Amino acid sequence: MRNIMKLAVVILMILGLVVIASGCGGAGETTDINGLEDLAGKKVGVQANTTGQYAAEKVEGMKNEDIKKYPTTPDALMALSTGELDAVVADSPVVLNYIKHNPEIGLKTVEDDFEKEYYGIAVKEGNKELMNGINEALATIKENGTYDKVYNKYFGEASSGTDFKVEPVESDKTFVVGTEAAYAPFEWQENGEITGFDADLIQAIAAEMGVELVHQNVAWDALYPSLNTGAIDAVISAMTITEEREQEVDFSEPYFEAMQIIAIRGK
Amino acid sequence: MVFKWDFVIDILPELLKGALLTIELTIVSILIGIVIGLIISIFRVSNIRPLKWFAKGYVDFFRGTPLLVQIMIIHFALPRIVGYVPIALVSGIAALAINSGAYVAEIFRAGIVAVNKGQMEAARSLGMNWSQAMRYVILPQALKISIPPLGNEFIALLKDSSLLFAITIEELMTTGRLIIGARPRPTEVWFAVAIIYLILTQGISLLVNWAEKKFDTDSKVNM
């Protein structure tokens, strides 16, 4: 019995040591990343299948296995703070919002001349009727000032100061929209409801179209498939219009201009 | 919508690369899980109270909480308390092995309990002490009884490794998701992934059947 116990204790200790030793060193401040080209040879986190991933893949000398593809952007930023990653490439409004609301996590940003990106609302390929409806509604709310009110609520000088809200329309015609709701300030869940810039904007568009909005939280990777199977009518999820994506779905006119940014550790 | 076979052929190399990682993860986790399970099961049947309680607590915790939560704790929560830098592969294998260890411990315990009490008494009366009796008489019989349920556990473990998508490990499941992100053909991708998983789990079944036959001493005696 003694021997088995001794053996057991030794094995447990070795297992524990392996786990601890594999991660010793602690997560220090990042100092040697000043732009995109410095990312080569570093561990870079992205959200899987986003423009952040594509931007990281384009960096010269970047190895694919060094790009860690997380299911959500907050997951990647959390992995950066624990030291698993050296940097995260993601949409700048989201990263800045995350850092602003979570200062204790100790992250900062580095800018570079990333290309401008435009977010669009996606519908199933060939669904012209719905696309026209969305584009017309978008144009109307841009003209009548509703868009600006929504924009200022989240990105204005005194953002979070306004409590502007579009009243939902009740109708027999429903408009089912999918969103990956882990992407503040564009979309996040609060009290079981999807809120954020995209949520308010699509509510305004639905009101303009005179249809009742049904807003669903759908995983990022499941957004296109849900469109194609007809589970949802449209996607608003801070989704950048890209050539590749346009081969699979149709996009509305752009509704937001954004850019990538690099997040690193530091105050 | 048609099923495009050439698309399946196109993505097959990527999927097989993911499947290889799934196999590696499963084998390493099974081996560590067996060691943990053996230790915990012996703790559980030992006469030393604290060890018994530890083993019971271990099994209760890791069997009573979802594996995905355990993965998140090991990869995201603990590093912030303990201060180690997590590595996805290490976190993944640790989570699978620790979780599997709890189930394997219960399988071994059931095996040990199933061995007739008289065996221990007989061994002790031959002058063996507790650990000798355990090692030479009880465990060999208990392990043999444990083979079929162990096979079940290994199949479950292989399938559970798909949860590691949450921490970016590019095994079979994650590979499928990443392919769909760039080329959204879920029909081809998920059927192909399912069939590869099926082949892998059938492989485990065959291995377990073989092991069962090999250690089946009773029927040899009867023949």
- Residue-by-residue DSSP string for chain B: ----HHHHHHHHHHHHHHHHHHHHHHHHHHHHHHHHHHHHHHHHHSS-HHHHHHHHHHHHHHHHS-HHHHHHIIIIIHHHHH-----HHHHHHHHHHHHHHHHHHHHHHHHHHHS-HHHHHHHHHTT--HHHHIIIIIHHHHHHHHHHHHHHHHHHHHHHGGGGGGGT--SHHHHHHHHHHHS--HHHHHHHHHHHHHHHHHHHHHHHHHHHHHT-HHHHHH-
Task: Mark whether A131 and A109 lie in a shared domain.
Answer: no
A163 domain residue, yes or no? yes
Q: Does A256 fall in a domain?
A: no
User: Hey, are the CB atoms on A12 and B170 less than 8 Å from each other?
Assistant: no
Rounded (10°) CA dihedral A26, A80, A111, A267: -50
Q: Which of B135, B63, B61, B127 is nearest to A2 (CA)?
A: B135
Over its C-alpha atoms, chain B yields an Rg (Å, rounded) of: 21
- Biggest alpha carbon–alpha carbon distance for chain A: 82
Report A:42-81 residues touching B (Cβ under 8 A). Answer: 45, 48-49, 68-71, 75, 78-79, 81
Phi and psi for A53 in degrees, rounded to 5?
-60, -45
Give me the residue from B32, B84, B180 closest to A24, CB to CB: B84
Look at the block and give the residue holding tokens 């009727």. A129
Nearest to A64 by CA among B156, B178, B183: B178
* Candidate from A22, A25, A75 with C-beta closest to B90: A22
Same domain, A54 and A34: yes
Question: Looking at the structure, do residues A113 and A174 belong to the same domain, yes or no?
Answer: no
As to burial, measured by CB atoms within 10 angstroms (0-12 exposed, 13-18 middle, 19+ buried), residue B153 is buried
Asked whether A254 and A118 are in contact (CB, 8 A), the reply is yes
Cβ–Cβ gap A23/B131 under 8 Å? no
Of B129, B170, B184, the CB nearest to A1: B129
**Which chain A residues are within 8 Å of B42, Cβ to Cβ?**
4, 8
Domain count, chain A: 2
Q: In terms of domains, do A109 and A207 share one?
A: no
- What are B111's two structure tokens? 């095996």
Contact between A19 and B84 using a beta-carbon 8 Å cutoff: yes
| Inter-chain touch A8–B43, beta carbons under 8 Å | yes
Whether residue A79 and residue B76 make contact (CB cut-off 8 A), yes or no, is yes
pLDDT per residue as tens digits for the range B152-202: 999 999 999 999 999 999 999 999 988 887 777 888 999 999 999 999 999
Residues B131, B132, B133, B134, Cα dihedral to 10°: 50
Task: Flag whether residue B68 sits within 8 Å of chain A, measured between CB atoms.
Answer: no
Indicate whether A77 and A192 sit together in one domain.
Answer: no
Cβ–Cβ < 8 Å for A160, A166:
no
Among B32, B35, B76, select the one facing A78 at the smallest CB separation. Answer: B76
Compare B83 and A177 and report the one with higher pLDDT.
Answer: A177
> Is A18 a member of any domain?
no
**What is the predicted pLDDT for the residue at A58?**
92
d(CA A263, CA A107): 7
| pLDDT attached to residue A165 | 86
Per-residue tokens: A192: 């079981």
Structure tokens at A27: 């997560």
B154 touches B205 (CB < 8 A): no
A-chain residues within 8 Å CB-CB of B184? 224-225, 228, 248
Closest residue of A to B77, CA-based?
A: A82
Question: Which residue, of A66, A94, A117, is where some domain finishes?
Answer: A117
Give the C-alpha separation, B158 to B99, whole Å: 12
Instruction: Enumerate domains of chain B plus CATH numbers.
Output: 5-222 (1.10.3720.10)
Whether A98 and A67 share a structural domain: yes
Q: Residues of B with CB below 8 A from A83's CB?
A: 79, 85-86
Residue B28 corresponds to which amino acid? V
Q: Within this chain, do residues A92 and A192 fall inside the same structural domain, yes or no?
A: no
Return all residues near A89 (Cβ < 8 A) that are at least 6 apart.
A39, A44, A45, A46, A52, A53, A55, A56, A260, A261, A262, A263
pLDDT at A192: 85
A51 & A173 share domain: no
Instruction: Classify residue A14: in a domain, yes or no.
Output: no
The tens place of each residue's pLDDT in chain A, 267 residues long, gives: 566 666 666 666 666 666 555 544 456 777 789 999 999 999 999 999 999 999 999 999 999 999 999 999 999 999 999 999 999 999 999 999 999 988 888 999 999 989 999 999 999 999 999 999 999 999 999 999 999 999 999 988 765 557 788 888 899 999 999 999 999 999 999 888 999 999 999 999 999 999 999 999 999 988 988 998 899 999 999 999 999 889 889 999 999 999 999 999 987
DSSP per-residue string spanning chain A = -HHHHHHHHHHHHHHHHHHHHTTTT------S--SGGGGTTS-EEEETTSHHHHHHHHSTT--GGGEEEESSHHHHHHHHHHTS-SEEEEEHHHHHHHHHH-GGG-EEEE---PPPEEE--EEETT-HHHHHHHHHHHHHHHHSSHHHHHHHHHHSTTTTS----PPPPP-SSEEEEEE--EETTTEEEETTEEESHHHHHHHHHHHHHT-EEEEEE--GGGHHHHHHHTS-SEE-SSPBP-HHHHTTEEE-S--EEE-EEEEEE--
Look at residue A17 and tell me if it is in a domain: no
Determine, yes or no, domain membership for A68: yes
CA distance A15 to chain B (A): 9
Helices B5-45 & B88-114 angle (0-180, nearest 10): 50
Decide which of A66, A82, A117 is a domain's last residue. A117
Question: Chain B neighbours among A 107-136 (CB < 8 Å)?
Answer: none
Give me the residues of B, 168-187, that contact A with CB < 8 A: 168, 170, 174, 177-178, 180-182, 184, 186
Q: How far apart are the first and last CA of chain B?
A: 58
- Say whether B166 and A224 touch across the interface (CB within 8 A): no
pLDDT of B222 strictly over 60: no
Question: Cβ separation of A2 and B79 shorter than 8 Å?
Answer: no
pLDDT reported for residue A164? 85
Q: How many CB atoms lie within 10 A of CB B73?
A: 15
- The pLDDT score that the predictor gives to residue A267 is 73
Domain presence at residue A233: yes
Which residue from B83, B168, B181 is facing A221, i.e. has the nearest CB?
Answer: B181
Give domain status of residue A262, yes or no.
no
Same domain, A89 and A149: no
Q: Are A128 and A237 contained in the same domain?
A: yes
Question: Cβ contact (<8 Å) for B85 and A78?
Answer: no
Q: How confident is the model at residue B223 (pLDDT cuts 50, 70, 90)?
A: very low
Percentage of residues in chain B with pLDDT exceeding 90?
81
Q: Which residues does residue A47 pair with via DSSP β-bridges, in sequence order?
A: A70
Q: Do A127 and A242 fall within a single domain?
A: yes
Q: What is the chain A residue with the closest CA to B95?
A: A19
- The alpha-carbon gap from B182 to the nearest alpha carbon of chain A, in Å, equals 7
CATH no. for residue A235?
Answer: 3.40.190.10
Find, in chain B, the residue whose alpha carbon is nearest to that of A242: B182
Q: Which residues of A touch B174 (CB under 8 A)?
A: 69
pLDDT in tens, B16-70: 999 999 999 999 999 999 999 999 999 999 989 999 999 999 999 999 999 999 9
Residue B205 has pLDDT above 90, yes or no: yes
Angle, alpha carbons B159-B91-B155 (nearest 5°): 15
Domain stops at, among A117, A134, A160:
A117
Residue B142 has pLDDT above 60, yes or no: yes
Asked if A8's CB is within 8 angstroms of B184's CB, the reply is no
Domain range for A41 is: 29-117
Residues A172 and A103 in one domain: no
- Average pLDDT in chain B: 92
